[in-house]
Structure formats: structure tokens, C-alpha cells
């Protein structure tokens, strides 16, 4: 009994740093510092690229890596999680900035952080697994598509006449601007893409994105070709992150609530997925609730210090593990190194060509889209899963994540209920003489005279309630209806009402109702509705043999009453 009182380690609200630091060694510190530096080098171009894709200035991506990365490592529930800006937020952040400005983004991100902290404190970490995988795969693929479409302009050097927000509007603008195609931008983009694809096959230790940035920046600077650089489009600051208080109003808060929930759910799902992946790599177990609290605090901190929404980054976390990082110290080192680079080297970022940024984001989109998983779902999954996947992808691309997640969840719930309703059934028993040795086989039970037995299989809920109305036909002349509910795991109010109607019909016809093997949840619901009391405790039997004996007793009693 003692074991039941002890909380599992993974459910503790205690940062992993506090657990691993007890046995920390100098050897592991060296490995963590090395891993942290390498991850910082990887995070540098990615953070800048993701900031630009999100419609904010380059340094804000680095602010996110510095502040959010440090807080998640300090407070998080994973040993190796690396947090920072990710592609999942690019579209939604760009939309918020365009509609509500930076103040709106700060407010939405802070609210999302508060929601995540509450989720963690309320132990919602394990509930994230109930979001269907088809929805996660759908919006992830949809985000990848929107990122690719958003970077076509810079990759081909197009000159837009407007600044569209929606993906469909961007496609239309691409079509209108195709005449402004810049061959030099396209060539720099192709060179960058080539480096990103082929460099890792030769020297995986040195990040391909860093090589692409260095080579293409140097090439554009030396040749003076007509290619837009970051410095041509954005003013770059090397100032460290400073506290920023937004202009808050009740109207803004109300307007941004849907965006805040979307950021919170997205950050929670992606962070916990990253934790699960890293657990498999190092043979550890993360603390999901502590991770949610840390991610919430990180997003609040990131927003207030000029950053954008952050979450666990699977690619950077994997790089941390591969390079020897095994404790949160590596993530903290990564943040400090990014801060040093920001302060000392940020002005040089103005030389990075925009087609190179576009190429980096193309690779990010390819790596995150999970096309193999999408292909397998279309090949092997039931039609209902394919429908949910397709609708989520379309809604993500055409509308936004708020609509996609909402529609996807509603559709998944409806199709799941339909599937459950289809497998729920009630069938009548028929006695068959055979040599089956299974004494509990329903075909071998001797049913008393003037008795029928129905067995219900599957959950009894509103979508399946109509399936039970035929249990007592008008032409059946019986004394007892036995309802076996051994395979009914759950029941809702509609299911209880369906049973109540059956009992009422039985009463009108002078038929007794006997229930067999009613499970705990259905029994509680039936008691709460008063059905248990109405039928009587003597007619609720724990086993079918006892229920049949009770039915025989009722039939015999009626016979004796008639004879008397």
C-alpha cells in the first residue's frame, strides 16, 4: 500500500537541474560546456531566420534563445531540453505582429505562459497525449507549407507591391510579382541550399547552416551582387535583452485570448514531444508538469525581454545529446554563448543574404514536415484519420492554427464518437448445445423460461443510445429481461436515459429487469440517476449465473402466485 502513496518521479514539480546536480562531475561539466557551445552555434542562424520568418527583427530571435533557453534549462523537467524560437510559431507570430504590433505579441505570449504554468500546476502534463497524432501531424505539415510559401519571395528575390499576411494572399502576390525574379538571389539561394543538403554528409560536426551563412555572406560582400541582405531590410541591434512593459488594455487581452491558447497548446505539445524524443536518446524520464511550468515561465520571460514565443526545439535538443550534453548545464551554457555572440558579433549579421535565410527555413520546413509520417497515414490509417489530417492541413494553410486545431479536435471527436457508436451493440443470447469447454461461453448458458438475455458491448453514450431501444419487442411475452453489461466500460446521461426508458417499458408490460455485472462507472451513474434504487439492489447481480438464477426465481415466484 505504501507504493501507492509515493508520487512517481516524473510527476514531481521539481526541476531536473536540482536532481542531477547532486552527482555532478568535472568530466560531465566539460562535456556540457562543449555541447552548449556547439548548440549555440547551431541556434544562432536558426534564431535569426525564425525571427525574420515571424515578422520581427533578427535580434529578437536571439533574445528568445537567451532568455527562454536559460529559464527552461534552469527550471525544466528534462535533463537535455534546449528551448528557443521554433518554426511552429512563425505564422501565428507574424499574424499577431501585423494585427496588434509588438505589444500584442508580448501580451499574447505572457498570457500563453500563464496558461502553461497553470497547466503544469494542475498536472495537465499527461493530458497532452490525448491530442490525436493526426492533428499534430496535420498542423505541423501545414506550418511547414506556410513557411515555404513565406520564403519564396526572398529565395527568388521577388519584389512585392504589398505585405500580405494570409498564405493565400502570399501565393497571389507571388503570382503577380513573378516578373521581378532576381537570378542572382536565386543562385545564392541554390548555393545555400546545396551547402545545407550536402555539407552534413562530409562534416556533420560543423553546422551546415553556419557554413552557408559564412560562405554566402562573404560571396555577396566580395562580388557586390544585387542581393538583399538582412541589413538592407532590417536595423540590427547588438544590445542585450532589456525589460519591456507593453501597453495593456482589456480589449487587447480579450482579442488575443484565442492566440494565447494556441501558443500555449502548441508550445506544450512541441515541448513534451521533444522531451519524449530526448528521453529515448538518453534513457531518462522527463517530468511533464515541471516542464510545462518551466515553458510557461520561459515564455513570460522571453516576451518581457523582447523575445517571441519559445518551446523545446527537437533538432537543437538532439544536437545537444549527440555532442555529450546530459544535464541542464548544457542548455544554460548555450544561452550564455548566444548572449556573448549577440553583444560582440551581431553587427556582422547584417551581411547575411536573405536567400540564405530562406534556404535555411526551407530546410527547417522539410525537417519538421514529417512527410514520411503523412505518407504512412494516407496509406494505412482509417478514412476518419485521413479526413482529420487533410482538414487540419488545409485549415492551417488557408486560415490559421487557431481554426486548424479547433476544427481538427471537433472533427476528430465527432468521428471518434461515430466509430465508438458503430462498435457498440446489444445482442440477444440464444442457447446452443455444444461441447465447448468454456463454462462462461454465452452460447452454453441455460436461459430460464419466459426470460430473454441481452448483452451490451461497448460504451453507452449519446451517439450509440438508439441501438438499445429494440431490447423489448411488442410481441415478446416474457417475465424477465436480463441485461448483461460486463463489456460496458462507461456510460453517459443519454445511456442511462436509454436504460431508464427500457425499464419503464418493462414495468408497463409487467416485466422485471435484472442487470448483470455492471462496472463501477456505469453503476455510479445509474445510482446517481436513481435507476439503481428503482430497479432494486436485488436485481443488480455481480455475475451472469447469479443473474440467471435471479431470473429463474422471479419466474418461479410468478408461477406459484398464479397457481395459488
Does residue 420 belong to any structural domain of this protein?
no
Helix (H, G, I), strand (E, B) or coil at 551: helix
Helix (H, G, I), strand (E, B) or coil at 454: strand
Residue of 260, 261, 288 whose CA lies nearest to 273? 288
Does residue 298 belong to any structural domain of this protein?
yes
Does residue 542 belong to any structural domain of this protein?
yes
Residue of 505, 75, 508 whose CA lies nearest to 310? 75
Same domain (yes/no): 353, 475: no
First to last CA, the chain: 56
- Per the prediction, the chain carries an average pLDDT of 87
Does residue 401 belong to any structural domain of this protein?
no
In this structure, are residues 192 and 355 in contact, taking their beta carbons and an 8 Å threshold? yes
Cα(32)–Cα(247) distance, integer angstroms? 40
Distances (CA, A) of 305 to 108, 110, 308: 14, 11, 9
Residue 6: the pLDDT is 38
Cα(310)–Cα(352) distance, integer angstroms? 23
Same domain (yes/no): 364, 464: no
Same domain (yes/no): 430, 361: no
- Give, for 515, the enclosing helix (H) or strand (E): strand 512-516
Helix (H, G, I), strand (E, B) or coil at 426: strand
Among residues 354, 371, 388, the one where a domain terminates is 371
Looking at the 3D structure of the chain, how many domains does it have?
2
Same domain (yes/no): 523, 440: yes
Same domain (yes/no): 125, 211: yes
Does residue 385 belong to any structural domain of this protein?
no
Does residue 5 belong to any structural domain of this protein?
no
Cα(314)–Cα(221) distance, integer angstroms? 33
pLDDT tens digits along 391-411: 999 998 888 766 787 888 888
Residue of 526, 6, 83 whose CA lies nearest to 331? 83
Among residues 325, 356, 371, the one where a domain terminates is 371
pLDDT tens digits along 79-118: 999 999 998 888 889 889 998 999 999 999 999 999 999 9
pLDDT tens digits along 410-443: 888 888 777 776 666 666 665 545 444 444 555 5
Same domain (yes/no): 171, 320: yes
Same domain (yes/no): 238, 311: yes
Residue of 253, 15, 250, 245 whose CA lies nearest to 112? 253
pLDDT category, 11, cuts 50, 70, 90? Answer: low
Question: Is the backbone of residue 19 left (phi > 0), alpha (psi -120 to 50) or beta?
Answer: alpha
Same domain (yes/no): 230, 357: yes
pLDDT category, 5, cuts 50, 70, 90? Answer: very low
pTM above 0.95, yes or no: no
pLDDT tens digits along 36-58: 998 998 898 989 999 998 999 99
pLDDT category, 10, cuts 50, 70, 90? Answer: low
**Residue ranges making up the domain that contains 302:** 26-371
In the predicted model, what is the mean pLDDT of residues 293-306? 97
Same domain (yes/no): 310, 442: no
Residue 475: the pLDDT is 59
Does residue 142 belong to any structural domain of this protein?
yes
Residue 530: the pLDDT is 92
Same domain (yes/no): 148, 267: yes
Same domain (yes/no): 54, 119: yes
**CATH code of the domain in which 433 resides:** 3.30.750.24
Among residues 371, 387, 415, the one where a domain terminates is 371
pLDDT tens digits along 156-204: 999 988 878 778 888 999 999 999 999 999 999 999 999 999 998 777 7
Does residue 376 belong to any structural domain of this protein?
no
Same domain (yes/no): 367, 441: no
Amino acid at each position: 500500500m505504501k507504493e501507492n502513496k509515493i508520487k512517481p518521479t516524473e510527476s514531481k514539480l521539481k526541476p531536473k537541474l536540482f536532481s542531477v546536480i547532486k552527482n555532478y562531475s568535472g568530466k560531465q561539466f566539460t562535456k556540457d560546456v562543449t555541447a552548449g557551445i556547439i548548440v549555440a552555434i547551431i541556434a544562432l542562424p536558426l534564431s535569426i531566420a525564425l525571427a525574420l520568418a515571424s515578422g520581427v527583427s533578427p535580434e529578437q530571435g536571439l533574445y528568445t534563445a537567451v532568455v527562454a533557453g536559460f529559464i527552461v534549462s534552469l527550471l525544466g523537467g528534462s535533463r537535455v531540453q534546449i528551448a528557443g524560437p521554433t518554426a511552429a510559431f512563425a505564422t501565428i507570430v507574424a499574424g499577431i505582429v501585423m494585427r496588434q504590433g509588438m505589444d500584442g505579441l508580448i501580451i499574447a505570449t505572457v498570457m500563453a505562459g500563464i496558461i502553461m504554468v497553470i497547466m503544469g500546476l494542475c498536472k495537465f502534463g499527461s493530458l497532452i497525449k490525448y491530442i490525436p497524432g493526426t492533428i499534430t501531424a496535420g498542423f505541423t505539415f501545414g506550418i511547414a507549407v506556410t513557411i515555404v510559401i513565406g520564403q519564396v519571395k526572398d529565395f527568388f528575390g521577388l519584389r512585392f507591391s504589398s505585405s500580405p499576411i494570409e498564405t493565400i494572399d502570399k501565393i497571389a502576390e507571388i503570382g503577380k510579382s513573378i516578373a521581378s525574379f532576381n537570378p542572382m538571389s536565386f543562385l545564392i539561394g541554390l548555393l545555400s541550399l546545396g551547402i545545407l543538403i550536402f555539407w552534413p554528409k562530409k562534416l556533420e560536426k560543423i553546422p551546415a547552416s553556419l557554413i552557408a551563412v559564412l560562405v554566402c555572406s562573404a560571396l555577396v560582400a566580395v562580388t557586390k551582387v544585387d542581393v538583399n541582405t538582412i541589413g538592407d531590410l532590417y536595423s540590427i541591434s547588438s544590445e542585450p535583452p532589456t525589460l519591456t512593459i507593453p501597453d495593456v488594455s482589456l480589449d487587447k487581452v480579450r482579442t488575443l485570448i484565442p492566440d494565447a491558447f494556441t501558443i500555449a497548446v502548441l508550445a506544450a505539445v512541441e515541448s513534451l514531444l521533444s522531451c519524449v524524443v530526448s528521453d529515448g536518446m538518453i534513457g531518462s524520464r522527463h517530468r511533464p508538469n515541471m516542464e510545462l511550468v518551466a515553458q510557461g515561465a520561459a515564455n513570460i520571460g522571453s516576451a518581457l525581454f523582447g523575445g517571441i514565443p519559445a518551446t523545446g526545439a527537437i533538432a537543437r535538443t538532439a544536437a545537444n545529446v549527440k555532442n555529450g550534453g546530459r544535464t541542464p548545464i548544457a542548455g544554460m551554457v548555450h544561452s550564455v554563448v548566444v548572449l556573448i555572440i549577440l553583444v560582440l558579433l551581431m553587427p556582422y549579421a547584417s551581411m547575411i543574404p536573405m536567400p540564405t535565410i530562406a534556404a535555411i527555413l526551407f530546410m527547417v520546413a522539410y525537417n519538421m514536415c514529417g512527410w514520411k509520417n503523412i505518407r504512412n497515414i494516407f496509406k494505412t490509417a482509417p478514412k476518419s484519420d485521413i479526413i482529420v489530417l487533410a482538414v487540419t492541413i488545409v485549415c492551417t494553410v488557408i486560415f490559421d492554427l487557431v481554426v486548424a486545431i479547433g476544427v481538427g479536435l471537433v472533427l476528430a471527436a465527432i468521428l471518434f464518437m461515430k466509430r465508438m457508436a458503430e462498435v457498440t451493440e446489444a445482442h440477444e443470447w440464444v442457447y446452443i448445445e455444444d461441447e465447448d469447454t468454456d463454462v462462461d461461453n454465452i452460447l452454453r448458458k441455460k436461459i430460464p423460461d419466459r426470460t430473454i438475455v441481452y448483452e451490451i458491448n461497448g460504451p453507452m453514450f449519446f451517439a450509440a443510445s438508439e441501438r438499445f431501444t429494440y431490447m423489448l419487442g411488442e410481441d415478446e411475452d416474457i417475465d424477465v429481461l436480463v441485461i448483461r453489461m460486463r463489456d460496458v466500460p462507461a456510460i453517459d446521461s443519454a445511456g442511462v436515459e436509454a436504460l431508464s426508458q427500457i425499464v419503464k417499458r418493462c414495468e408497463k408490460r409487467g416485466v422485471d429487469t435484472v442487470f448483470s455485472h455492471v462496472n463501477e462507472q456505469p453503476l455510479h451513474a445509474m445510482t446517481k440517476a436513481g435507476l439503481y434504487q428503482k430497479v432494486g439492489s436485488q436485481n443488480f447481480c455481480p455475475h451472469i449465473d447469479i443473474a440467471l438464477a435471479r431470473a429463474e426465481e422471479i419466474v418461479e415466484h410468478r408461477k406459484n402466485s398464479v397457481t395459488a
